[in-house]
Amino acid sequence: MIRSLLIAAMFMGASAAAAAEPVVFHRGTAAEPETLDPHLCDGNACGTPIYDMFVGLVTDDPEGHVTGGMADTWTISEDGLRYTFNLRDGLTWSDGVPITAADIVYSFSRSLAPETAARTSSLLYLIENARAVSAGTVPVEELGVAAPDPRTVTIDLERPAPYFLETLLISNAMPVPRHVIEEHGRQWTRPGTMVSNGAYVLAEWVPQSFVRVTRNPLFFDAENVAIDEVVFYPTTDLSTSLKRFRAGELDIVLNFPPSQIGWLRENMPDALRIHPTLGVYYYVFNTARPPFDDLRVRRALSIAVNRDLIVDQILQIGNPPAHGVVPPGIARHSDPYRPDYADTPYQDRLAEARALLSATGFGDDNPLTVTLRYNTQEEHERIAVALSVMWKEVGVLTELDNSDQSTVTRDLEARNFDLARYAWFAAYNDASTFLELMASGQPRLNFSGYSNPEFDALLAEAATMRDLDARADLLRRAEALAMADHPLLPIYFYVGKRLVSSAVKGWIDNPRSANRARWLRIEREYPGALRTGGWRSGPRPCMKAPARTPRDSDCA
């Protein structure tokens, strides 16, 4: 009897110890985040942790659709110009300070203020006076965001936009804590200082190593958040990230070496997740720098690219080749742009490219030399090498120049490049979010410096149209017009390619790749037991960092 009680006590103690372990989600991200300030973020590297720490008026559900965030209900005026949001009861920041409608007004004002210099502020230009506020020609007090009372926010638009709620999903539309920012300035995002309103709060940030966030007990839906901690690891080296995934050190990786796709299909089919997404991979021409200010040079380089070869032999996962910038899957845009040369035999295209370059003074005696900028990653390097080989066929010499994503982005903003690799994902499900990459007056998006008054006029006309089908036709015309000028060199449209551990439950592939930790669970099975939510005592992989997640002493 005593022996039975002792054994039972031992099992109870083991269960209690296991229950005390934090539920940890180990997540590979694209790169080291440049910032954790929602209004300064541009890209997945910072966006992934930010979306776990902050929630806007609306948010995305497990399938990537718009659902209630800080606002649980909202109404839209009959003319589509005013949105009225009703905030949930009892909203607070992670430090316990109440959130009011005035905080929302402050956050939109800060996001659009010229002194913030947010790269993607133009995504909010649907809001009344937003463009003028961002340009500094209208005071921020005239922005079309107001707080009639502490629990109500109204947003007035310049024009009706059926996709407006989707624009509120971007990080630029998220609230930030005024009381913390005014005290700490741009240092407000440091661990121990940062305050957020989402499912998680910042606990640690070790540059080039990891970002760790922990569950926010004051989040309005905290009782339904199953994961205690999320650790984000920058994984720019695809081979290393695959090794870490196979070793059980990462629960998800965003990418993997293209050369491993066959092995993964054969050996890890359940972990492999491939699905369409709304993004385009492209190179930007610096149209202000000779000789790339010459359309003939840009066209020659573009038509000499064999996109089918890149997607079939390098990527090998079914990416559609891209000649335009608007992906298939965008609303009312089922047929991607296809130029006049797309069906021309490749050898004939090479001949045309040589002739175009010859007409601009380049040839065997005077070869065109191009510096190709890209951010460090195996896949980007392979594509850059492929471009250099293709261009060599038409007498072009290519110098490859790679660095981290932040440096490439700064060079793009400074117009310090010949051609530079970039990518854009839909901020909302409408073709205009891609076409604005070529619009005048968008220096933070239009890195090429391209300007075409006819193209701008088509975008402006489309912005006023209520007939959505007619508007889509106009946007297709605008895309064809701009792409004939080749300010950008599209390569392919993205598909999501993830490796997701079987321990991750609730993961739903969706075009926006919106997979927030608050909707997920972790179930890890080890010899003799299954624990829902986190680690189970007993043999398991040893995680190296951060040291306390899990603890070193727990490593088998």
pLDDT digits (tens, 9 = 90+) for 34-68: 899 999 998 788 989 999 999 999 999 999 999 99
Neighbouring CB atoms inside 10 A of 97's CB total 16
> Which strand (E) or helix (H) includes residue 160?
none
pLDDT in tens, 289-308: 999 999 999 999 999 999 99
pLDDT in tens, 38-47: 999 987 889 8
The pair of structure tokens assigned to 275 is 């699905």
Question: What are the backbone dihedrals phi and psi of residue 120, each rounded to the nearest 5 degrees, phi first?
Answer: -110, 25
Q: Bridge-partner residues for 60, per DSSP? A: 66
Mean pLDDT of 6-12: 43
Answer whether 140's CB lies under 8 Å from 108's CB.
no
- CA-closest candidate to residue 64, choices 165, 142, 173, 154: 165
Task: Write the CA distances from 399 to 87, 373, 417, integer angstroms.
Answer: 54, 9, 12
Strand intervals (E) in 254-383? 272-285, 369-375
pLDDT over threshold 60, residue 534: no
Mean pLDDT of 441-450: 88
Note the pLDDT of residue 391. Answer: 98
Answer whether 214's CB lies under 8 Å from 84's CB.
no
pLDDT over threshold 60, residue 243: yes
- Distance between CA 213 and CA 422 in Å, rounded? 28
Note the pLDDT of residue 1. Answer: 47
- Distance between CA 516 and CA 232 in Å, rounded? 13
Q: pLDDT category, 405, cuts 50, 70, 90? A: confident
Q: Which residue has the tokens 């997945």?
A: 44
Task: Write the CA distances from 530 to 220, 503, 536, 540, 553, integer angstroms.
Answer: 29, 10, 7, 12, 20
pLDDT over threshold 50, residue 132: yes
Mean pLDDT of 336-351: 95
pLDDT in tens, 204-231: 999 989 999 999 999 999 999 999 999 9
Q: pLDDT category, 537, cuts 50, 70, 90? A: very low
Answer whether 59's CB lies under 8 Å from 68's CB.
yes
Indicate whether this model's pTM tops 0.85: no
Residue 410 CB partners (closer than 8 Å, separation 6+): none
Mean pLDDT of 398-405: 94
- Distance between CA 492 and CA 530 in Å, rounded? 42
- Distance between CA 278 and CA 327 in Å, rounded? 6
Q: Is the backbone of residue 228 left (phi > 0), alpha (psi -120 to 50) or beta?
A: alpha
Answer whether 176's CB lies under 8 Å from 107's CB.
yes
Question: What are the backbone dihedrals phi and psi of residue 312, each rounded to the nearest 5 degrees, phi first?
Answer: -85, -40
Note the pLDDT of residue 169. Answer: 94
Q: pLDDT category, 551, cuts 50, 70, 90? A: very low
The pair of structure tokens assigned to 419 is 């051609």
Angle at Cα 518 formed by Cα 214 and Cα 163, nearest 5°?
A: 125
Mean pLDDT of 526-547: 39
Least confident of 12-26, 141-155, 264-278, 398-412: 12-26
Task: Write the CA distances from 310 to 27, 250, 380, 384, integer angstroms.
Answer: 28, 29, 11, 10
Note the pLDDT of residue 463. Answer: 85
Neighbouring CB atoms inside 10 A of 510's CB total 18
pLDDT over threshold 80, residue 130: yes
Q: pLDDT category, 20, cuts 50, 70, 90? A: low
The pair of structure tokens assigned to 541 is 């992989």
Answer whether 169's CB lies under 8 Å from 56's CB.
yes
Answer whether 156's CB lies under 8 Å from 81's CB.
yes
Note the pLDDT of residue 546. Answer: 46
Q: Is the backbone of residue 353 left (phi > 0), alpha (psi -120 to 50) or beta?
A: alpha
Answer whether 255's CB lies under 8 Å from 497's CB.
yes
The pair of structure tokens assigned to 20 is 């005390």
- Distance between CA 119 and CA 138 in Å, rounded? 19
Residue 102 CB partners (closer than 8 Å, separation 6+): 147, 150
Mean pLDDT of 10-22: 53
Least confident of 276-285, 356-365, 425-434: 425-434
- Distance between CA 494 and CA 277 in Å, rounded? 6
Note the pLDDT of residue 536. Answer: 33
- Distance between CA 26 and CA 32 in Å, rounded? 15
Mean pLDDT of the chain: 89
Answer whether 373's CB lies under 8 Å from 418's CB.
yes
End-to-end CA distance of the chain: 32
CA-based R_g, the chain, Å:
25
Mean pLDDT of 307-327: 95
Note the pLDDT of residue 6. Answer: 40
Answer whether 259's CB lies under 8 Å from 242's CB.
no
Mean pLDDT of 349-363: 97
Task: Write the CA distances from 103 to 85, 176, 221, 343, 451, integer angstroms.
Answer: 13, 8, 20, 54, 37
Q: Which residue has the tokens 């999320």?
A: 230
Q: pLDDT category, 526, cuts 50, 70, 90? A: low
pLDDT in tens, 264-281: 999 999 999 999 899 999
- Distance between CA 293 and CA 299 in Å, rounded? 11
DSSP designation for 378:
H
- Distance between CA 214 and CA 23 in Å, rounded? 10
- Distance between CA 236 and CA 376 in Å, rounded? 7
Which carries the bigger pLDDT value, residue 506 or residue 20?
506
- Distance between CA 172 and CA 156 in Å, rounded? 17
